[in-house]
Amino acid sequence: MRSLTQLADELASHRTTSRALVESCLDRIRAPNGEGARVFLKVHADQALAAADYHDRLRKASGSVSRYAGIPVSIKDLFDVSGDVTTAGSKLLRGESSATRDAVSVARLRAAGFIPIGRTNMTEFAFSGLGLNPHYDTPANPHDRKARHIPGGSSSGAAVSVSDEMAYVGLGTDTGGSCRIPAAMCGLVGFKPTARRVPLQGAYPLSSSLDSIGPIAQTVHCCAIVDAVLAAETSDALPAVSLAGLRFAVPQSLVLEDVDDIVGRAFAHTLSAISGAGARVVEVALKELLELPQINRKGGLSPAEAYAFHRNRADTRGSEYDPRVLSRILRGKEQNAADYLNLLEARADLIRRVTAVTSEFDAVLMPTTPIVAPLISALKEDDAYWRANTLVLRNPSIINFLDGCSISIPCQDSGDLPVGLMISGAHGTDRRLLSIAGEIEKLSRSRR
């Protein structure tokens, strides 16, 4: 699949057209044996073709268009799109009023010339890392598709739309790993920016303290291009960086527990390659992470904030929720105001203490998830579902809680199911982190 840079070059040199790109994506969405019906809850075919023709005419007439004008992107069903009902992967919201304006992130993509091609499926209300949706079905992971592994979530459709070339970027959200988990499991790149880097207006909330908006794409540079658009930066250029001499921390507490053989092997090989490039990879105890289960013993920030938002609807229409999602929302009942304020204080204290340890490093490295994508059929029983959900959310959610930025890049050994390497940085170091990730991506690609 071509990168955004390659597509932009082909559009600028008239080797392709926006209409050709949109038609190709629509063909894949409509493929009889494809995943399109599970990936997209709504397809904007007519609007996308009209926008493509507009960008093609403008580019042909003057050439003075945005470099990325005319490239199709998918939009997670969590975002307002003018004229659409935002259902957040739920059947509860289908009778709500249509949005009267785009979410800020969608509006910024349009202003840069990207074309929203449709709304993608997701875990209901974004409250799971597995990507299962009992209301609209679940798109299968692109790898070993006949077996039907989970895509990861909650931005499940966003990832599969990119892996199956139904769009060239997927706009997603990440509250506890919802961009990074599906990217890791589908062999893509998923970026979680510092939470307040991209405005949340027009995105259906899960946890106001933890929600962030980011892209899923084929490469780190593709994510960097879209991140600059979403953050309203004037340039998508990244600072130059060399791995030689950089210092990376590898936590030894919590994040390496229950790692399966495929993930463990790929992680070890990737760390060896990074060391071989002249970087220093340092094992750090970081025992502070062992405090997280106790800090979040009453569910943590997401259930508390989700319950505050869903309380009235959950009380009156609870039977219409995915019961697994509802059970997580209702955990918010366990916290009173004092519990919630104490949780915020504990979070601030943990950020301070972890930062004191990690500030001497350029980034922190860990597996994105400790397991590869399980089969959808293996998660029918609640015990298996909850164990898998807890495992896949564990590592990514640490970075959301610490208010950092983070990216997952593919690092699996050849022939294995996808594995993600998670590279994380401190609050506000997003562009430098993307530069570092781009260099590690080169190593990982050459190793594979």
The enclosing domain of 14 has a CATH number of: 3.90.1300.10
Q: For residue 196, is it within any domain?
A: yes
Q: For residue 278, is it within any domain?
A: yes
Residue found under tokens 């050994």: 413
Structural domain ending residue among the three candidates 230, 264, 281: 230
pLDDT of residue 65: 87
Domain co-membership, 224 together with 252:
no
Q: For residue 324, is it within any domain?
A: no
Domain co-membership, 376 together with 416:
yes
**Which one, of 446, 448, 261, 443, lies nearest residue 365 by Cα?**
443
Cα-based torsion angle of the residue sequence 265, 267, 269, 274 in order, rounded to the nearest 10 degrees: -170
The count of structural domains within the chain is 2
**% residues pLDDT > 70 (the chain):** 100
Domain co-membership, 284 together with 356:
yes
Mean pLDDT of the region 406-412: 98
**Which one, of 119, 55, 115, 125, lies nearest residue 83 by Cα?**
119
Question: 79-132, pLDDT tens digit by residue?
Answer: 999 999 999 999 999 999 999 999 999 999 999 999 999 999 999 999 999 999
| Residue 178 is among the residues annotated as catalytic for this protein | yes
Domain co-membership, 57 together with 101:
yes
- Pairwise CA distance, residues 52 & 39, whole Å: 22
Q: For residue 113, is it within any domain?
A: yes
Residue tagged active-site, from 18, 74, 76, 406 = 76
**Which one, of 256, 188, 247, lies nearest residue 220 by Cα?**
188
Average pLDDT value for the chain: 97
Range of the domain at 71: 4-230
Domain co-membership, 123 together with 253:
no
Domain co-membership, 128 together with 253:
no
CB 2 within 8 A of CB 129: no
Mapping DSSP to helix (H, G, I), strand (E, B) and coil, where does residue 202 land?
Answer: coil
CB 149 within 8 A of CB 132: no
pLDDT of residue 448: 72
pLDDT of residue 282: 98
Residue tagged active-site, from 74, 90, 156, 178 = 178
Mean pLDDT of the region 373-398: 98
Q: For residue 314, is it within any domain?
A: no
Asked if residue 44 has pLDDT above 90, the reply is yes
What confidence category does residue 445 fall into, taking pLDDT thresholds of 50, 70 and 90? Answer: confident
Domain co-membership, 168 together with 267:
no
Domain co-membership, 135 together with 207:
yes
Structural domain ending residue among the three candidates 198, 230, 262: 230
Domain co-membership, 24 together with 135:
yes
Question: 283-329, pLDDT tens digit by residue?
Answer: 999 999 999 999 999 999 999 999 999 999 999 999 999 999 999 99
Domain co-membership, 255 together with 207:
no
Question: 350-373, pLDDT tens digit by residue?
Answer: 999 999 999 999 999 999 999 999
Report residue 138 as tokens: 């679940």
Residue tagged active-site, from 105, 154, 397, 406 = 154
Domain co-membership, 183 together with 286:
no
SS (HEC) of 182-231: HHHHHCCEEEECCHHHCCCCCECCCCCCCCCEEEEECCHHHHHHHHHHHC
Q: For residue 208, is it within any domain?
A: yes
pLDDT of residue 241: 97
Asked if residue 167 has pLDDT above 90, the reply is yes
pLDDT of residue 447: 76
Q: For residue 286, is it within any domain?
A: yes
Q: For residue 145, is it within any domain?
A: yes
Asked if residue 270 has pLDDT above 90, the reply is yes
Question: 45-87, pLDDT tens digit by residue?
Answer: 999 999 999 999 999 998 778 999 999 999 999 999 999 999 9
- Which residues are registered as beta bridge partners of 118? 43, 74
Domain co-membership, 190 together with 68:
yes
